[in-house]
Amino acid sequence: MSTTTLPAPGQNPTLHTKRLPAVAFLGIAVVALGVSAAICYGTGLGGWVLTLVIGLVLYMVGVYFAVRAVEGSRSARNRTWSALIHSAFVLAVLPLASVTWTLISKGMERFDGDFFNSSMNNIGARDPNGGAYHAIIGTLEQVGIAALITIPLGVLGAIYIVEYGRGRFTFLIRFFVDVMTGIPSIVAGLFVLAFWVLIVSPWFNNGAPAFSGFAAALALSVLMLPTIVRSTEEMLRLVPAPLREGSYALGVPKWKTILKIVIPTALPGIVTGIMLSIARAAGETAPVLLVAGGSAAINFNPFTGQQGSLSLFVFQQAGDASRFAPARAWTGALTLVALVLILTIAAKLLARRNRIPR
């Protein structure tokens, strides 16, 4: 027969259990990595990647048996799953950290004023100079035009689907948006090449087909539109129905409810979807190569003449035989990532200012 000891008056009841000290987990990790390194490097099975994988497995086994011996089997299962979740997070972050470090370490070699103030026009294979000024201008103009086209269309299309759409027509819109989501970028480029460059542009160029940055913007619009529609649709559906009903109960028209209540509530998520589409468009190479030509000279006019982009610049420099080209390619990639990051931060700050306060 078990007895329970009641705490004295004024004292809090406490539950005392045995727990494995935190230093024990560090010791298990060190022993697991040591054994794993001895196995991998001693037998020649592999390098540091295989060492980490085997060490992780040994660490899980060691944690389970150590905790089971001290705290019991139930706590051992809990600690093991917790360690597995944290290890999965670390494994997921490692590739991102590796890519970031590689990009920064190699991209800083040509991160100078000459790179951002000069183009590749008249730059030979033995010339260490040359930059991506023309490519930066092209990326900003092409993505900007594509955003001006797709953001209003995508947001209005999502509003129609959520707030007004009913029946077969709405189903067809959603179906074709889903189909467009999986279109390869090369297909979008071929579509604009066949329609705009070969059919429409000769009307404005004395009967001759013409490459242009605007044609690249049209191809990027085809890629951006489905992402904006789907992400905006999902964000609008997350807006609580009582917000709409309260506005209708006060006599506010539906269009004004959408403009003043629904969109500001869903604005952070809408901005996130828009920035995802912009990031994808800025990194596309095939459509720009097909319909813009990829000129090495600076061209401020997106409607006339060939034009380059940062993604195409990286592609061209990565395949160039010059010994100075890889440094330009890495710096171009770093510039592209930094540009998208700056735009994303700016858009997030703007959305935070304009959303409804809680």
Within 10 angstroms of residue 68's Cβ, the number of other Cβ atoms is 17
Given a contact cutoff of 8 angstroms between Cβ atoms, the answer to whether 317 and 326 are in contact is yes
Mean pLDDT of 162-166: 87
Render pLDDT for 301-338 as a digit per residue (tens, 0 to 9): 999 889 999 999 999 999 888 888 999 999 999 999 99
Phi-psi region of 131 (alpha: psi -120 to 50; beta: other; left: phi over 0): beta
- As a whole number, mean pLDDT of residues 95-123 equals 89
Task: Decide: pTM greater than 0.85.
Answer: no
Alpha carbon of residue 347 to chain centroid: 14
pLDDT of 271 strictly over 50? yes
> What pLDDT was estimated at residue 10?
53
What value does the mean pLDDT take over residues 156-169?
Answer: 89
Arithmetic mean of pLDDT over the chain: 87
Q: Which of 157, 138, 295, 115 is nearest to 214 (CA)?
A: 138
Report how far residue 116's alpha carbon sits from residue 124's, in angstroms, rounded to the nearest whole number. 18
**Tokens of residue 285, six digits:** 């190479």
pLDDT average, residue stretch 57-86: 86
- Whose tokens are 């468009």? That residue is 281
Neighbours of 161 (CB within 10 A): 22
Q: Please report which confidence band the pLDDT of residue 53 belongs to, taking 50, 70 and 90 as the band edges.
A: confident
pLDDT for the residue numbered 151: 94
Q: What residue ranges of the chain are covered by domains with CATH 1.10.3720.10?
A: 116-353
Which residues does 58 contact at the CB level (< 8 Å), separation at least 6?
A: 31, 32, 35, 36
Q: E strands within the chain?
A: none
Question: Can you tell me which residue has the tokens 């024990």?
Answer: 24
pLDDT at 292 over 80: yes
Q: Is the pLDDT of residue 2 over 50?
A: no
- State the average pLDDT over residues 172-182: 88
Tell me which fold the domain 116-353 belongs to: MetI-like fold (1.10.3720)
Give the pLDDT mean for 11-30: 74
What is the percentage of the chain residues whose pLDDT exceeds 90? 40
Residue 212: strand, helix, or coil? coil
Tokens of 326: 């890889």
